Structure 1
């Protein structure tokens, strides 16, 4: 096999491959076997018809085409490996006219990872928010715990934000009832804004048994974008009564005997959570600094595909309803053009991040162990509330195992360089990132030089 590569631009190449006909010979037997299973020839069981008879039935050209289709991916992969091409997209393949007994020639045009010059990480500048000794956060956690153990108590006063109310709703558009906006015995936390616009404002101040009317614009269903007249009646008003924050509560709500022990434990957890948040902020900030600092061209074809996939996912989520898509854009105060521009900008930045992290992973010789991959699978399975094996099965069914490994490798590569990046908080204090990402091996640094 002979092959050559032509650089079309910094992110795209064209491979030209020529396969001597004799290299096709081993594939003919396999092609005859495959075709024998696909066609029915009287007097022969499927798969047992002789080659000559199959060739007579389908023609020599069909057999040759089958052989080429089978061998072409193999020869393409060999050419990619021979020229050490870092492919990042599926190739556009063009096969010249096939002639029996003559070499097979094809070209493959494909997007590649551009040349990327990695920076001196010590020259980067990254700033993140400082970890706060936040008593307010501790108080909020304790208040949330009290609310979990709170009880709802009926009250005779007018409803106010934070109360739990039971509502009957009835809506009409031009005098016609709207089934989607009609309900009885609906429980709702006043002030949460989780139901239709204008409802909370209409209910505030109403007592049990009282009702009010208001007008709102419907956002879904048969009468989407129409003004509806809504009548709401209050069936009950209840306020949440919270237990006292004392030792008795600590014993009821936790494994601690005193409220001081409970507060100390909550403060410790808040501190740990803030450190995790800071570690995530550091990771994100370093990546953003790398993206902004390192300049290289991003393959337009890969960006185009990412934008198309994102748009397709949005359309699929709304059943391909173009009118609904336009309404969603209008509700968000944007246009189709702005959406597509934002999608393209985001896709270009995401592709750039992947290419950059792949380059770092190669430079750092990053490998993902089986244990690390298993931990990643367990973590993601828990996030999606799935059993690990069920998650793996879905990955395999959608051919996403390779993508998961690639993402794990990129994340590990990013973590491996963070300790070389000087990081400060917004108060000017230097942050020791080794607590989160481990130390940097100076011997490795010397080897790199």
Structure 2
């Protein structure tokens, strides 16, 4: 087999591959075996039809077409593996020569990971905000606590902002009550603005057993975007009485005996939160610095494919919610579909650049991923998604996302190592110690657990099982995944392209994600 690889650009190559006829024996055997089980020819038992008879009855061109469909994916994957091509997505295949009993030749154009030239990465420094907790912030937190312990008391007056009203609602369109368009006894805080547009204006000034009608745009359902008439009837008006801010309140609302102790605790908690935010800010600023200083060509088809995938996913979600794009954009406060997609494109491009840069750094520093890394990340992601580690690992396996997950863990580890070597100071010039930001809720697995993973005893310990995933996958496959996963689907002699298919500082702000936009970064380049 002969193959050449031509660079068409920084992110695209063309492979020209010639396959001697003898190398197609396996493909021919598979094709004839399948056809024997499909055709029924008088005089021959099922599965016993000779090859020459199949050629005659079905036609040699049909046989050759199916041989091409069997052979091209295998040959393409072999060339990718042998040449260590980091392919992105599926190739465009064109059969250029098919001489019976001689040669099969085809070309494969495919996007590839760009070659990234890294600048010196020593002496990196970022500046983050100071950790400063103000009295106003403490007052705000305690105010929230007071709200939780407030008591509702009925009043004989018209409703005003801050009151809690019990209301009945009925929505009609062209005089007909909408399906699921009525409700009774709903509790609502006047002035909160969190139910529907126009409701607050309608309710203000109403006393018990008084009604008002207003118009509002429907955001969901088959009539989304249309204006409906909504009648609101106030059944009761209540005001919230807050407890006195004293030691008695502190002992009721917390484990502390005095208000001063409670305020000190709130200050400590706020400071901890801001330290965590410092870690996340340092991470994001480091990523921003890398994006600004490292030139990374972006495969346009990769970006377009990701935009298409996300738009389709959003379309499915909107349909399930009974909404259309206009209602979604209005609810999101986005001016237009064009503005939405422009912001989406920017986020995707930044996420892809981040992935390429971190992969290049990981390659240069020979970063590897071990079982402890995988287990810790599985546990962290499972905790974030409120499921068991075993459930999360199973979800990865069923979705065929293990290679992407391993690659992303490698990027996360690379960013964490780079962050450890970065000088981080706050706005006042104080050095920030990232050791205070290490996760405490995700323990490392016990010694020896990884070696025995998969046995019934170890399954009982909660060690997640990633099946046949190997840590080395991250260093070998990077963005492209296993070459076998990149096999094209062949549809006749000429092959067209096919398409295959979320940082939370509270977990680990130092190493939580490989990009500021977690949603955009997760598996974008591997899709």
- So what's the TM-score if we normalise by structure 2? 0.72
Asked whether the equivalents of residues 18 and 105 of structure 2 are also in contact (C-alpha less than 8 Å), the reply is yes
Q: CA deviation at 1:224?
A: 4.4
Distance 1:201 1:210 in 2: 14
Provide the residue aligned with 1:444 in structure 2. Answer: none
Question: Matched residue pairs, number?
Answer: 438
Distance 1:351 1:255 in 2: 48
Q: Deviations over 1:348-399 (max 9, x none)?
A: 2222122112112212222222232223223323333333333333333332
Provide the residue aligned with 1:381 in structure 2. Answer: 382
Provide the residue aligned with 2:418 in structure 1. Answer: 417
Q: CA deviation at 1:58?
A: 4.0
Provide the residue aligned with 1:446 in structure 2. Answer: none
- So what's the TM-score if we normalise by structure 1? 0.83
Provide the residue aligned with 1:184 in structure 2. Answer: 184
Of residues 170-179 and 282-291 in structure 1, the stretch that sits farther from structure 2 once superposed is 170-179
Q: Could you say if the C-alpha distance between residues 321 and 241 of structure 1 is closer, same or farther in structure 2, counting changes exceeding 3 Å?
A: closer
Q: CA deviation at 1:15?
A: 0.9
Q: CA deviation at 1:176?
A: 4.9
Asked whether the equivalents of residues 225 and 326 of structure 2 are also in contact (C-alpha less than 8 Å), the reply is no
Q: Deviations over 1:54-80 (max 9, x none)?
A: 556545554444444334333223322
Distance 2:346 2:290 in 1: 17
Q: Deviations over 1:274-301 (max 9, x none)?
A: 2222211111111112112212321111
Provide the residue aligned with 2:126 in structure 1. Answer: 126
Q: CA deviation at 1:112?
A: 1.3
Q: CA deviation at 1:184?
A: 2.0
Of residues 58-67 and 16-25 in structure 1, the stretch that sits farther from structure 2 once superposed is 58-67
Distance 1:154 1:349 in 2: 54
Normalized per residue, which structure has more helix? 1
Asked whether the equivalents of residues 121 and 421 of structure 1 are also in contact (C-alpha less than 8 Å), the reply is no
Q: Deviations over 1:25-78 (max 9, x none)?
A: 244434444444545567988767665665565455544444443343332233
Provide the residue aligned with 1:99 in structure 2. Answer: 99
Asked whether the equivalents of residues 315 and 321 of structure 1 are also in contact (C-alpha less than 8 Å), the reply is no
Asked whether the equivalents of residues 87 and 112 of structure 1 are also in contact (C-alpha less than 8 Å), the reply is yes
Asked whether the equivalents of residues 85 and 112 of structure 1 are also in contact (C-alpha less than 8 Å), the reply is yes
Asked whether the equivalents of residues 165 and 234 of structure 1 are also in contact (C-alpha less than 8 Å), the reply is yes
Asked whether the equivalents of residues 415 and 437 of structure 1 are also in contact (C-alpha less than 8 Å), the reply is no
Q: Deviations over 1:177-230 (max 9, x none)?
A: 455553321221222212121211332343333333444344444654444444
Provide the residue aligned with 2:517 in structure 1. Answer: none
Of residues 396-405 and 353-362 in structure 1, the stretch that sits farther from structure 2 once superposed is 396-405
Q: Deviations over 1:95-147 (max 9, x none)?
A: 23433321221211111122211123346553332222344444444443444
Provide the residue aligned with 2:144 in structure 1. Answer: 144
Of residues 375-384 and 249-258 in structure 1, the stretch that sits farther from structure 2 once superposed is 249-258
Provide the residue aligned with 1:208 in structure 2. Answer: 208
Q: CA deviation at 1:309?
A: 1.4
Q: Could you say if the C-alpha distance between residues 75 and 222 of structure 1 is closer, same or farther in structure 2, counting changes exceeding 3 Å?
A: closer
**Equivalent runs, 1:354-369 vs 2, <5 Å:** 354-369=355-370
Provide the residue aligned with 1:371 in structure 2. Answer: 372
Distance 2:130 2:43 in 1: 82
Asked whether the equivalents of residues 122 and 422 of structure 1 are also in contact (C-alpha less than 8 Å), the reply is no
Asked whether the equivalents of residues 126 and 423 of structure 1 are also in contact (C-alpha less than 8 Å), the reply is yes
Asked whether the equivalents of residues 198 and 216 of structure 1 are also in contact (C-alpha less than 8 Å), the reply is yes
Distance 2:37 2:255 in 1: 68
Of residues 285-294 and 330-339 in structure 1, the stretch that sits farther from structure 2 once superposed is 330-339
Distance 1:35 1:435 in 2: 66
Distance 2:41 2:252 in 1: 80
Q: CA deviation at 1:86?
A: 2.3
* Aligned partner of residue 240 in structure 2, secondary structure: strand
Distance 1:90 1:71 in 2: 16
Q: Could you say if the C-alpha distance between residues 403 and 240 of structure 1 is closer, same or farther in structure 2, counting changes exceeding 3 Å?
A: farther
Q: Structure 2: give runs of 5+ residues left out of the alignment.
A: 440-527
Distance 2:137 2:393 in 1: 37
**Equivalent runs, 1:47-446 vs 2, <5 Å:** 58-122=58-122, 124=124, 126-173=126-173, 175-178=175-178, 181-221=181-221, 224-244=224-244, 252-255=252-255, 260-319=260-319, 324-326=324-326, 328-329=328-329, 332=333, 334-433=335-434, 435-436=436-437
Q: Could you say if the C-alpha distance between residues 15 and 223 of structure 1 is closer, same or farther in structure 2, counting changes exceeding 3 Å?
A: closer
Asked whether the equivalents of residues 163 and 189 of structure 1 are also in contact (C-alpha less than 8 Å), the reply is yes
Q: Structure 1: give runs of 5+ residues left out of the alignment.
A: 439-449
Q: Could you say if the C-alpha distance between residues 233 and 131 of structure 1 is closer, same or farther in structure 2, counting changes exceeding 3 Å?
A: same
Asked whether the equivalents of residues 15 and 108 of structure 2 are also in contact (C-alpha less than 8 Å), the reply is yes
Q: CA deviation at 1:4?
A: 0.9
Q: Deviations over 1:305-359 (max 9, x none)?
A: 1121122222222339999324544664533433333333332222212211211
Distance 1:194 1:40 in 2: 68
Of residues 355-364 and 81-90 in structure 1, the stretch that sits farther from structure 2 once superposed is 81-90
Asked whether the equivalents of residues 207 and 234 of structure 1 are also in contact (C-alpha less than 8 Å), the reply is yes
Q: Deviations over 1:213-248 (max 9, x none)?
A: 444344444654444444322112223344455565
